[in-house]
Amino acid sequence: MERYKIIDFVDFLLKRVFQPKPIPEILIFNAWMDVVKDVNFHFPNTTEDDIFDKIKTNQNELVVFLYRIGSQLHKENREDLKPQIHFLMKDLCSCEIYFNTIMYI
Quick one: average pLDDT of 35-48?
95
Q: What is the pLDDT of residues 61-95, one digit of tens each?
A: 999 999 999 999 999 999 999 999 999 999 999 98
**For 1-5, 32-36, 66-70, which range has the lowest pLDDT when averaged over its residues?**
1-5
Backbone phi and psi for residue 96, each to the nearest 5 degrees, phi listed first: -145, 135
- Whether 102 is covered by a domain: the verdict is no
- Whether 67 is covered by a domain: the verdict is yes
Q: What is the predicted pLDDT for the residue at 89?
A: 94
- Whether 100 is covered by a domain: the verdict is no
Average pLDDT, the chain: 91
- Whether 88 is covered by a domain: the verdict is yes
Q: What is the predicted pLDDT for the residue at 2?
A: 77
- Residue 15 class from Cβ within 10 Å (0-12 exposed, 13-18 middle, 19+ buried)? exposed
- Report d(CA 60, CA 23) in Å as an integer: 22
Counted domains in the chain:
1
**Domain residue limits at 53:** 3-93
